A = this chain, B = another copy of it.
């Protein structure tokens, strides 16, 4: 069923039918009612391609996903973030176009999307310093919002989590329990969020006049394996820590295993606060009696990014919108005080 057929059935011109469907005021209410009824009856929906061609708006948002996101870090982003964003787009009548790309040809992918006219705007994930993508998108004039931010950059729209504050809170929580030696098990130092988490951790310690001990600060892959290895190293120290702030659930699983094998009970002999963006692991609360969690909802970030992007598409020349989300500190019962 297309416009022409529908208008033929009704004996009204395509023009009027189109106007009735799109809510133009000049159509008589009687006609509109007729058209709407017929459209519903025949399950008519305007062909999106034709609409896009005629209006110049594709009503599609691009989500570019580098294949390197097999990588641990981007995995949760992929799922929950995208789900949140797509949901918001849908509410506003936009579709989501997923574009995979090699890590090296990311910039080209954006160029192509724009040249092919397939999207009205895009989201950029995990920006780096002086990000090529940002430069290209500006050059193309394609609306975009960045999820995360490159250290120091602030001349574009972005949505980010307040990682610094989250880790100040997490560290303070352990300090308040009386811990003096608190380890940090964090992601790779090239990542902006990991840098901010390092900052939050050191900030909290400095505020209590505790010296930073770099031998109990670790930055690397956020995997179970690394959490495990790191914890064993920490416990083997002459003066081992009594608690740790951990940057992801995957890491924390490794931490827990290492503690278990070393005979240390979490919440009694050793306290752990973890941070995670991915709610799925925490959803049923199974982690809470054991760990204390600082968590941010990646799905919510997706929704916000989408909202900002749609706003930018409608009003492209506005000054940068920069949204910082606060992470939530969830206090479980059994992360106990520091051993005396």
Chain A interfacial positions (CB closer than 8 Å to B):
1, 43-50, 52-53, 58, 60, 63, 65, 67, 69-70, 72, 75, 78-80, 82-83, 86-87, 90, 95-100, 111-112, 115-118, 221, 223-225, 228, 250, 253-254, 256-257, 260-261, 279-281, 283-287, 290, 299
Knowing A45-B112, A90-B100, A99-B95, say if A284 contacts B83 (CB, 8 Å): no
CB of A96 within 8 A of CB of B95, answer: no
Once A53-B50, A280-B70, A286-B225 are accepted as A-B contacts, the answer to whether A98 and B82 lie under 8 Å apart by CB is: yes
What 7 pairs between A and B have smallest CB-CB spacing?
A225-B286, A260-B260, A45-B115, A96-B98, A49-B52, A47-B117, A78-B79
**Cβ–Cβ contact B111 & A285, under 8 A:** no
Once A43-B111, A257-B256, A284-B221 are accepted as A-B contacts, the answer to whether A95 and B75 lie under 8 Å apart by CB is no
Is A47 a contact of B260 with CB atoms below 8 Å? no
What separation, in Å, do the CA atoms of A123 and B171 have in the docked complex? 45
- Prevailing SS type, chain A contact patch: helix
Q: Are B83 and A65 in contact (CB under 8 A)?
A: yes
Residues on B with beta carbons closer than 8 Å to the beta carbon of A78:
78-79, 82-83
By the criterion CB–CB under 8 Å, are A67 and B87 in contact?
A: yes
Query: Given contacts A116-B48, A223-B286, A284-B225, are A79 and B75 in contact (CB under 8 A)?
Result: yes
Chain B residues in 8 Å Cβ range of A117: 47-49
Q: What CA separation (Å) do A328 and B97 show in the bound complex?
A: 33
Q: How far is the CA of A250 from the CA of B82 in the complex (A)?
A: 22
A98/B86 contact (C-beta < 8 A), A45-B116, A287-B224 known: yes
Q: Do A49 and B58 touch across chains, with their CB atoms under 8 A apart?
A: yes
Nearest residue in B to A111 (C-beta to C-beta)? B43
Give the CA-CA distance A335 to B22 in the complex, in Å: 65
Q: Are A49 and B53 in contact (CB under 8 A)?
A: yes
- A115 x B43 contact (CB < 8 A): yes
A260 contacts which chain B residues (CB < 8 A)? Answer: 257, 260-261
Query: Can you list 17 pairs linking A and B with CB atoms under 8 Å apart?
Result: A47-B116, A49-B118, A50-B53, A65-B86, A70-B283, A72-B283, A78-B82, A83-B100, A86-B100, A90-B99, A97-B98, A224-B281, A224-B284, A225-B286, A253-B253, A257-B260, A257-B290
Taking a contact as CB atoms under 8 Å apart, the answer to whether A97 and B95 are in contact is: yes
- Select A97's contact among B97, B224, B261, beta carbons within 8 Å: B97
List B contacts of A250 (CB < 8 A): 281
The answer on a CB contact under 8 Å between B99 and A48 is: no
A286 with B224: in contact, given A72-B280, A115-B1 (CB under 8 Å)?
Answer: yes
Report the minimal beta-carbon distance from A279 to chain B, rounded to whole angstroms. Answer: 8
Report Cα–Cα, A67/B302, bound state, in Å: 14
A49 and B118 CA atoms in complex are apart in Å by 7
* Contact of A87 with B100 in the complex, beta carbons under 8 Å: yes
Contacts of A261 in B (CB 8 A): 260
Residues of chain B lying within 8 A (CB to CB) of residue A69: 83
